[in-house]
Chains A and B, each alone.
Chain A
Amino acid sequence: QVQLVQSGAEVKKPGSSVKVSCKPAGDSFSSYGFTWVRQAPGQGLEWMGRIIPMLDVADYAQKFQGRVTITANKSTTTVYMELSSLKSDDTAVYFCARGGQWLPNWFDPWGQGTLLIVSS
C-alpha cells in the first residue's frame, strides 16, 4: 500500500520561503498527479495546486498564483511545494495527496501533513 511521506515541521519568519517535500513510497510515481492542500488551525481544507510529473505540468489555485511553486523530481520520485512571501496566516498544516493522473478528481492517500508556523 502506497504511503506519502512528507518532510518535517518548519518555523519561518514573515517574508521568507518554505519548501516542503513529499515522497510516495511503493508505487508508480509517473502514473498519478500530486496535489497540495493546506488546513489552517481549526479551519477547513484549501486546495493549493497540483502537478502531473509525467508532463511536468503544474496548475495553481488563483489565490496562490505567483507565490506557490510545485515541482517534481522524477529521478528521486519526490514532489515539492514551495511557498514564498510567507505571512502569519500561512500558518497551517500542509498535506500532499496522490490524485488522478489527468484530472484532480480524487485524492488518496494523503501524506501525514507538515506543520508550518510563520512567526516573527
Chain B
Amino acid sequence: QSALTQPASVSGSPGQSIIISCTGTSSDIGTYNYVSWYQQYPGKAPKLIIYDVSRRPSGVSPRFSGSKSGSTASLTISGLQAEDEADYYCSSYRSGSTLVVFGGGTKLTV
C-alpha cells in the first residue's frame, strides 16, 4: 500500500481536461508544499512535470498544472493529447525517517 493515494486509472478524450488526485496526510502533503508529479511511459524513466505543488520545469507544456488543498494535491492536464497517455505519479516530502513518499500511480488513457 502506497503512502499517497491516487486513482488507479483515469480516462479522457482528446481536447478534454482531466484531474488526477493525490491524497496524503498531515505528515506530508498537508504540511509541506513539496509535491511533485512525474510522467512515465512504459519501459522509460519517469520525467518531472510539476514540482513544489504548481511549478513547471522549463520545457514542460503549460497544459500541465498542479494545485493543492489540504492534504490532497491535484494534477490537471488540459487539452488532452494522445501523447499524454502514460502513467503519472505524485510524490511528497514528508517528516520522519522516510523523507519521500510516492503515490501508487495513475494510468491515463486518452
Interface residues, chain A, CB within 8 Å of chain B?
35, 37, 44-47, 50, 59-63, 65, 95, 97, 103-113
Contacts of A111 in B (CB 8 A): 45
Query: From residue 26 to 81 of chain B, which have CB atoms closer than 8 A to chain A?
Result: 32, 34, 36, 38, 45-48, 51-52, 57
A61 near B97 (CB under 8 angstroms)?
yes
Say how far B81's CB is from chain A's closest CB, in angstroms. 22
A107 near B48 (CB under 8 angstroms)?
yes
Known contacts A44-B105, A112-B45; A104/B97 CB under 8 A = no
Known contacts A50-B99, A59-B99, A62-B97; A106/B45 CB under 8 A = no
CB-based closest 8 A-B pairs: A108-B48, A105-B34, A106-B51, A110-B45, A47-B100, A44-B105, A61-B98, A45-B102
Chain B: CB-nearest residue to A98: B48
Q: How far is the CA of A88 from the CA of B2 in the complex (A)?
A: 20
Assign chain B's interface to a size class. Answer: 20 to 34
Q: How far is the CA of A106 from the CA of B89 in the complex (A)?
A: 12
25 pairs of residues in contact across A and B, judged by CB atoms under 8 Å: A35-B100, A45-B38, A45-B46, A45-B105, A47-B98, A47-B99, A47-B101, A47-B102, A50-B99, A60-B97, A61-B98, A61-B100, A62-B97, A95-B45, A95-B46, A97-B46, A103-B93, A104-B99, A105-B51, A105-B52, A106-B36, A107-B48, A108-B51, A110-B45, A110-B46
Contacts of B48 in A (CB 8 A): 106-109
Contacts of A106 in B (CB 8 A): 34, 36, 48, 51-52
- B89 is contacted by which of A44, A50, A60, A63 (Cβ under 8 Å)? A44
